[in-house]
């Protein structure tokens, strides 16, 4: 296994910068997810690491080895794409064995490795089927086993679950994480799905317009964003206008708050917005906080989401336990406040 490092990597296509001064380290055995909207550069970073495209500038290291100019075949990478890319004329087992046979691994070792992986992924009973006879989830498991069987130094996963339905996607992502932990493979996963990133990653890197804005543990990204884009993209937020009191304090409804370290600070003479998570909006006593009316109620099992109109134009999303609002109806009056130690504030 390897420690992976990007050092000031950039990639240009004509005048378009797909990746800009990209620096990131993935420790040996770590599971890191790159998350961002389409076109943010996450797949470009993955393909540069795999040796499928060359960077315009910068370097890529595996441990202390500079791999920037090495061919893809010499990087010992396992890669799983959104498209399963299985050979239609080979059985599931033959597909899983393909990488090992190409590396001229002994027949006994091929059999042992693939048997072990088929057992833990539940593919043993499907080993003699052809790809068209397998479900989408089974095909993706075959692609994953093929990548793991070669025991790569680094495993790269490029949105491998996006073509699957929701239930199968959850099953496969849990399986991916379990296998990654079991084999201790350094893994980089690319997705645009926030829930996937939160649920299986040691750390998540948020990207926008070719730049890595912030990389941290999911909980820290959620609670302590360093950029407005990170706060808005990683989880849901309400954008609420606040009254600046100083460069580090604001007033929202009936309370004063400190601003977080990542907040924009350009004085107090500009319009400012606090980015507040839905679970930080709480019901309070009549006459305290802000008065509103419930516009929508979305029951989501153990939690319920309320859409609340404050005044004539400010719409707020509130999330709470379903038992707290079991008797609430659309049109009800409700008083709400913010429960938080500090607020992330963005300004114009």
pLDDT tens-digit series, residues 81-97: 877 789 999 999 999 99
In the prediction, which pLDDT does 60 show?
A: 97
Examine the pLDDT at 65 and tell me if it is beyond 80: yes
Examine the pLDDT at 243 and tell me if it is beyond 80: yes
pLDDT band at 348 (very low <50, low <70, confident <90, very high): low
Examine the pLDDT at 268 and tell me if it is beyond 60: no
pLDDT band at 270 (very low <50, low <70, confident <90, very high): low
Look at 120-129, 245-254, 293-302 and tell me which has the smallest mean pLDDT. 245-254
pLDDT band at 23 (very low <50, low <70, confident <90, very high): very high
All structural domains of the chain: 4-225 (3.40.50.300), 236-347 (2.40.50.100)
pLDDT tens sequence across 197-207: 999 999 999 99
Tokens linked to 269: 């003479």
pLDDT band at 347 (very low <50, low <70, confident <90, very high): confident
Q: Residues 229-245: what's their mean pLDDT? A: 91
Examine the pLDDT at 269 and tell me if it is beyond 70: no
In the prediction, which pLDDT does 1 show?
A: 66
In the prediction, which pLDDT does 87 show?
A: 94
Examine the pLDDT at 113 and tell me if it is beyond 70: yes
Nearest to 170, CA basis, from 157, 179, 178, 161:
161
Examine the pLDDT at 291 and tell me if it is beyond 90: yes
pLDDT band at 179 (very low <50, low <70, confident <90, very high): confident
Instruction: Compute the mean pLDDT over every residue in the chain, rounded to the nearest whole number.
Output: 91
In the prediction, which pLDDT does 195 show?
A: 87
Q: Residues 161-172: what's their mean pLDDT? A: 80
In the prediction, which pLDDT does 133 show?
A: 96
Give pTM, 2 decimals. Answer: 0.87
In the prediction, which pLDDT does 288 show?
A: 85
């Amino acid at each position: 296994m390897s420690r992976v490092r990007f050092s000031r990597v950039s990639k240009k296509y004509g005048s378009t910068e797909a990746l800009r001064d990209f620096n990131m380290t993935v420790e040996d055995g770590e599971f890191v997810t790159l998350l961002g909207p389409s076109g943010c550069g996450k797949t470009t970073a993955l393909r540069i690491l795999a040796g499928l495209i060359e960077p315009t500038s910068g370097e890529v290291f595996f441990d202390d080895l500079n791999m920037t100019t090495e061919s893809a075949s010499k990087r010992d990478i396992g890669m799983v794409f959104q498209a399963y890319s299985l050979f239609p004329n080979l059985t599931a087992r033959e597909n899983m064995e393909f990488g090992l046979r190409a590396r001229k691994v002994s027949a006994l070792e091929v059999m042992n490795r693939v048997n072990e992986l088929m057992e833990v992924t539940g593919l043993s009973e499907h080993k003699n089927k052809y790809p068209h006879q397998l479900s989408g989830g089974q095909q993706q498991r075959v692609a994953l086993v093929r990548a793991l069987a070669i025991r790569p130094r680094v495993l790269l996963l490029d949105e491998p679950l996006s073509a699957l339905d929701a239930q199968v996607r959850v099953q496969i992502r849990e399986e991916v994480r379990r296998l990654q932990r079991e084999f201790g493979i350094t893994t980089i996963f690319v997705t645009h799905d926030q829930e996937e990133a939160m649920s299986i990653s040691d750390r998540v890197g948020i990207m926008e317009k070719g730049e890595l804005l912030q990389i941290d543990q999911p909980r820290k990204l959620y609670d302590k964003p360093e950029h407005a884009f990170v706060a808005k993209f990683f989880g849901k937020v309400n954008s609420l206008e606040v009254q600046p009191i100083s460069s580090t304090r604001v007033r929202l409804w009936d309370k004063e708050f400190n601003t977080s370290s990542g907040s924009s600070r350009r004085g107090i003479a500009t319009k400012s917005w606090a980015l507040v998570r839905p679970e930080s909006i709480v019901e309070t006593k009549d006459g305290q906080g802000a008065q509103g009316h419930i516009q929508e109620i979305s029951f989501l099992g153990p939690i319920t989401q309320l859409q609340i109109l404050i005044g004539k134009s400010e719409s707020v999303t509130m999330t709470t336990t379903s038992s707290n609002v079991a008797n609430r109806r659309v049109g009800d009056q409700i008083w709400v406040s913010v429960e938080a130690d500090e607020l992330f504030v963005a300004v114009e």
